[in-house]
Amino acid sequence: MKAMNRRDFLRVTSAGAGAMAFGGGLKPARAGVNDTIRLAVIGVRGRGQAHIAGFEQLPGVEVAALCDVDQHILGERAEALEKETNRKIVRYGNMRELFDDKRIDAVSIATPNHWHSLAGIWAMQAGKDVYVEKPLSHNVWEGRQLVKAARKYKRMCQHGVQGRSSPAICEGIAKLHEGVIGDVYMARGVCYRRRPSIGKVDGPQPVPEYIDYDQWLGPAPKKPLMRKQLHYDWHWQWDYGNGDIGNQGVHEMDLARWGLVVGLPSKIQSTGGMFLFDADKQIPNVQTTAYYYPESNKLLVFEVRPWFTNDEAGFTAGGHSNTGVLFFGSEGYMALWYFKYATFLGDKHEPGPSAEGAGSEWSTFIAGVRSRKEEDLGNTVEDGHLTSTLCHLGHVSYRLDRVIRFDPKTERCIGDEEANKMLTRNYRPPYVVPGQV
């Protein structure tokens, strides 16, 4: 993994403009495709709305199809988009049928986490480029399979975290790598977000008849609905989600790993639990995880909790959360958060940045689709896999209540078969992640 330099910074800050311009010698996604990239969004209830709006506002990009297992929300989103664009939107209740549609050049995946890798692999096998929401995977093994699929089928695949598309964050990381705070030895990422109780049920809950629950479950075990709300609250149940470390925290985890210039660690230790609520949440809402990199003597520490009682050197998100990263170096420290950063060198305080704004992950994806160059993407599939793996390894350590020794090269736990079993899952046919993509 290389450090961020000024050339990288300039590349990212100009990516949005390049994507807007189109033409200019950029190659089409593949032979025969015209200048308009026809894209489909899979999963349109929550985050999928942002995908629709983000891609639809780009010149030369057309959201041509929508896919969801919920027929009501699919109809609502399609009708709204048809009214806005004055064109017919193709609707799919089954993503495999969508992947067979040769008119679609790329797909954007905003399903629950347990579907991310499999949907991405199927799409690339069908010749589509893929934008996949965070986290890239639900477990370590399937994330690596998605990376292999992108390489084998020569598809562009971007991970859905926004930090690397932000000119402000790129400037901060570039300065960090240039030594603005000296030798960086530690990053401390925080995800302090108020998450309410999801309630508690006494037995299986009904699933509306207009939702294809078997498809919603996909690779996960076939179990009845054991929470009050089918949507969103799955984030805190092991079969489907990855808790807040893999929901909001994956953004900050990516920045922490990027700033430290590290990949996968050799030693992981995590502790925590469920506090405050008597609910059907299974994944801890309070968790602290440490990742150690002996080869570079660097440490990454990540903390998740539901209260935001301190401002962590100033980073906050509108008073409802504190999420960001503190980097510690031999000469000072840097706070980086929500498209801003500040450096602290003794009594000297440099607020930064000179570059502002969140950037556009939609533009960087389209730039990569057109150029066929992975470096044009905002966040590559490999970086997405490494960052998501950190989240997964933290949960493995937490669930087993012990230190995990990990081999970054083989992506296997050392001398711990119980832990290795948790790096993957038992897939439910026919929703099986292929072992040889």
Predicted pLDDT at 285: 92
Give the pLDDT confidence of 347-377 residue by residue, as tens digits.
777 766 665 667 789 999 999 999 999 999 9
At residue 303 the predicted structure's pLDDT band, cuts being 50, 70 and 90, is very high
Residue 23 has pLDDT above 70, yes or no: no
Cα distance between residue 384 and residue 116, in whole Å: 12
Residue 97 has pLDDT above 60, yes or no: yes
**Is the CB of residue 272 less than 8 Å from the CB of residue 286?**
yes
Cα distance between residue 33 and residue 179, in whole Å: 45
At residue 11 the predicted structure's pLDDT band, cuts being 50, 70 and 90, is very low
**Is the CB of residue 167 less than 8 Å from the CB of residue 243?**
no
Residue 9 has pLDDT above 60, yes or no: no
**CATH code for residues 13-164+361-380:** 3.40.50.720
At residue 310 the predicted structure's pLDDT band, cuts being 50, 70 and 90, is low
Predicted pLDDT at 356: 61
Q: Given the structure tokens 């950029």, which residue do they identify?
A: 26
Portions of the chain given CATH number 3.30.360.10: 166-199+224-358+387-421
Average pLDDT over residues 416-422: 98
Portions of the chain given CATH number 3.40.50.720: 13-164+361-380
At residue 25 the predicted structure's pLDDT band, cuts being 50, 70 and 90, is very low
Average pLDDT over residues 274-281: 82
Those residues with Cβ within 8 angstroms of residue 20's Cβ, 6 or more apart along the chain or in another chain: 58, 59, 363
Residues of the chain with pLDDT > 70, as a percent, come to 87
Cα distance between residue 250 and residue 189, in whole Å: 10
Predicted pLDDT at 31: 33
C-alpha dihedral sign at 130, 128, 145, 428: positive
Predicted pLDDT at 108: 98
Q: Fold for 166-199+224-358+387-421, please state it.
A: Dihydrodipicolinate Reductase; domain 2 (3.30.360)
Average pLDDT over residues 185-189: 97
Q: Which two tokens stand for residue 128?
A: 């589509």
